[in-house]
Structure 1
Amino acid sequence: MITGDLKSQIDAIWSTFWTGGVTNTITIVEQLTYLIFIKNLDESEVRNELKARHGFKYTPIFNQEQQQFRWKNIKELDVNARHNLFTNTVDGIFPFIRSLGKETSLFATHMKGATFGISKASVLDQVMEKLENIDMSNQDTKGDIYEYLLSKLEGGGTAGQFRTPRHIIKLMVELMQPTLEDTVCDPSVGTAGFLVAAKEYIDKHNDVTKLDRYENHINKKMFNGSEFDATMLRIASMNLYLHGVEEPNIIDVDAVSKDNTISNAYTLVLANPPFKGTIDKESIAPGLKNVTDTSKTELLFLALMLRQLKTGGRAAVIVPDGVLFGSGKAYKSIREEIIANNKLEAVISMPSGVFKPYAGVSTAIIIFTKTGTGGTDNVWFYDMLADGKSLDDKRSLLVDEDLFMDFAFGDAFSKRKEIIKDADASIPKKGDNDSEDAFDFLPNKKEKQDTLHAKFNLPQILDHYRYLKSDYFKKMHGKKGEVLHVHDVPENLGWDKFMDGTCTHDYSDRTSQSFLVPFKEIKENDWDLSINSYKEIVYEEVVYDEPKLILKRINELSSERENLANQLKNIV
């Protein structure tokens, strides 16, 4: 998360654009992306040159004639010469950018439309000077800067598109746990937030040797998406390039149209498709209409995902609440297809404030696996009440920033769960017999787990889902999710692998946030997936005093008021 001085520096750059006459948000983001991209190319070249001294072999980004395009050389030019280098449409830096990547790559295709949009030499000079003062050597810092820039694009699009908050993207990626064998797709790729998060997860959970072995797969096949907005195509391509994917497979196509013929291609879909958008019925791919006869994009995208996934492929998708309980034929048919003919695993209801201040829409995350033969047994429902931020327009952070950014602690949490549980415990120092990773999640304040949970449900969501998918669940719980009386040591039941309360939670208790609902009940309920259709509300009994006691207190107050009024009269 970008805060403090770094945020102020980026805001100052933003102001430079505005005062220089560049006020279109997308233009600013795109031009800044180009400059960061150019800076990053030179930094990558410098790192490779240093490694080459120790025998590392690499293909240079810049040949001898292109050295003038390196950031370190550009910044040494005078103001006008630098601006001329950017505006030169024949031998300038933008023709160079457009030539990057293999000529046949989609990256090169999308970058053909890259153009320079800063008309004043002084604005370019000031922006580059401010960028030069920002240390972007750390990949996380670079990612934070880029995410902050992309956050400027937040808001509703003409087709109901809303940029997904970064922590929700991370939750979905952590739930799905992508592997190096996966081929990941986002059919409504936008700025490629889901794909970048998947790449970061892959980098974090694999060593360099293994990543090198899968280099070709990562660069050319692993990351896929579709988008029909030319600016988004360039931004998505550069975003992935900056995160180490050299030739992302982002195709220029309207995903649910006849032009998109991809099927049985991917093992994992991560997406937040457009809400409330529509498409001309004549242009819809026929196979999608067979699943759900509609022009609503939120339904068509679900049908598309089922078509594009390989058998056994998984999906985590954000949908508006209407998809869960809509009574129209198209709504019911897509729900039935996912539940009866494939395997629905989870419905995570999110509070309406998640997309604020840009939209108050209520949404949910649904997780399913393509089987083509059914397989849904118990569907896990979770009622997310708090996502770590206030649910008003300010969206203020409610928990420790480090915890919010690194909530996917898994086993590390188990190692230190007693520390959070015991409010009187002191936080140990790094190096106490455990890896430093075990401390990544620790909040600065000694908050109890339940107090923390009231503000931040995401750690429990992730923990419960992983437990339900583990072999431990069947040892401790019955078919309905009820807790069994098991005589075994805690370690054999997974107590040391999960958060306090996860292994002993009653998943049949529908008054809780986390519970299971059997396939049969969902079918009998007309495939309704609204959490309110299954969650039991506990009403607290309110006891009122008898009327005569209330009247007595009113009379006593009246008498006291009169006495005070008389005293005031005597004073006057």
Structure 2
Amino acid sequence: MNLSSTIKSIQDIMRKDDGVDGDAQRLGQLTWMLFLKVFDQREEEWEDDNKKYKSPLPEHLRWRNWAAYKADEEGKKKPQIAGGELISFVNNELFPALKDQIDASQGPQYQVIQQVFEDANNYMKSGPQMLAVIEKLEEAINFHDFKTRASLGDVYEQMLNDLRGAGNAGEFYTPRAITAFMVDRVNPRLAKRETVMDPACGTGGFLTAAIDHFRHQISTKSSAKDQRAVEALIRGIEKKQLPHLLCTTKPI
């Protein structure tokens, strides 16, 4: 099953839940669950790079310690929290802590978590249905794969394209050919260290095209400073949580 099919199957599961009403709530539900899943796998990478890394999340609220399926003695993967207890845990422990107990002043990671959860809500009422969503995220999506991260934005924008009223909500699907053409016309130059800024970057389509544009200017004669400069020259702002999440998980 490809990524697009996986996301659609997750949406189908959410449609069976009495608490999730409409596409906007499904996107909102997917936002915070995707965030915690992606963030946890990114933390695994940070832990490998820095043995002294400390998570900004309380230990028992990290995805790996409540949501991730764990193998039992027979090797079968099972949920850590039973379906009957899951909604209570999410509503009474997870959300109160991540909404009110994260101090954004402690660093950028703390700030991102606070921004994601300050307007987030858990709409699902069925523990078994939420477990089914978690299982899909666990088994079908590998966020360690850079290609998977990059394609998440395309899936989200395709969802917007499928929703005929998306433009009324202030969100629009921009075809990749258009973003590539825009960057080609602007023609930012790596040698001149020209910064690219998108103040409403969505899932980062324009910024991704700008990264590719910069990379095409790197040759075998380019210095390590030129390659590192690509990341420093990209700037983006996005208010909504899910597009922001999908933009920041893309590789640079």
Same fold by TM-score greater than 0.5: yes
SS state at 1:223 partner: strand
TM-aligned CA distance change 1:239 to 1:97, over 3 Å? farther
Deviation at 1:238, TM superposition (A): 2.0
2-side partners of 1:170 and 1:234: how far apart?
24
Which amino acid is 1:30 matched to? Answer: G
Matching residue of 1:35:
33
Residues 161-197 of structure 1: CA deviation (Å, up to 9, x unaligned): 6321233323433554545633333344445432344
Alignment equivalent of 2:15, drawn from 18, 23, 34: 18
Check the 8 A contact 2:104/2:114 in 1, yes or no: no
Matching residue of 1:195:
207
Matching residue of 1:210:
225
Matching residue of 1:481:
none
TM-aligned CA distance change 1:240 to 1:162, over 3 Å? closer
2-side partners of 1:10 and 1:144: how far apart?
12
Alignment equivalent of 2:176, drawn from 144, 166, 180: 166
| Unaligned 5+ runs, structure 1 | 246-572
Which amino acid is 2:125 matched to? Answer: S
Please give the root-mean-square deviation of Cα atoms over the aligned residues, in Å: 3.8
Which amino acid is 1:16 matched to? Answer: I
Which amino acid is 1:92 matched to? Answer: L
Residues 249-304 of structure 1: CA deviation (Å, up to 9, x unaligned): xxxxxxxxxxxxxxxxxxxxxxxxxxxxxxxxxxxxxxxxxxxxxxxxxxxxxxxx
Matching residue of 2:134:
128
Check the 8 A contact 2:153/2:243 in 1, yes or no: no
SS state at 2:178 partner: helix
Higher fraction of strand: 1
2-side partners of 1:143 and 1:69: how far apart?
26
Matching residue of 2:89:
85
SS state at 1:44 partner: helix
1-side partners of 2:126 and 2:148: how far apart?
28
Check the 8 A contact 2:200/2:236 in 1, yes or no: no
Residues 108-153 of structure 1: CA deviation (Å, up to 9, x unaligned): 6743222222222122111000111122321221221332133212
Deviation at 1:212, TM superposition (A): 8.3
Is the aligned partner of 1:243 residue 2:250?
A: yes
Name the count of aligned residue pairs: 226
Check the 8 A contact 1:102/1:108 in 2, yes or no: no
Check the 8 A contact 2:153/2:203 in 1, yes or no: no
Check the 8 A contact 2:43/2:55 in 1, yes or no: yes
2-side partners of 1:210 and 1:85: how far apart?
47
TM-aligned CA distance change 1:129 to 1:201, over 3 Å? farther
RCO higher in structure (CA 8 A, sep ≥6): 2
Matching residue of 1:338:
none
State the identity %: 23
Deviation at 1:29, TM superposition (A): 1.9
Check the 8 A contact 1:169/1:194 in 2, yes or no: yes
Deviation at 1:16, TM superposition (A): 0.5
2-side partners of 1:190 and 1:49: how far apart?
29
TM-aligned CA distance change 1:15 to 1:208, over 3 Å? farther
Check the 8 A contact 1:184/1:195 in 2, yes or no: yes
2-side partners of 1:123 and 1:240: how far apart?
27
For normalisation by structure 1, the TM-score amounts to 0.34
2-side partners of 1:140 and 1:7: how far apart?
13
2-side partners of 1:203 and 1:26: how far apart?
36
1:258-269 correspondence to structure 2 within 5 Å: none
Which amino acid is 1:44 matched to? Answer: R
Residues 299-333 of structure 1: CA deviation (Å, up to 9, x unaligned): xxxxxxxxxxxxxxxxxxxxxxxxxxxxxxxxxxx
Matching residue of 1:51:
49
For normalisation by structure 2, the TM-score amounts to 0.69
Which amino acid is 2:124 matched to? Answer: I
1:258-407 correspondence to structure 2 within 5 Å: none
Check the 8 A contact 1:33/1:235 in 2, yes or no: yes
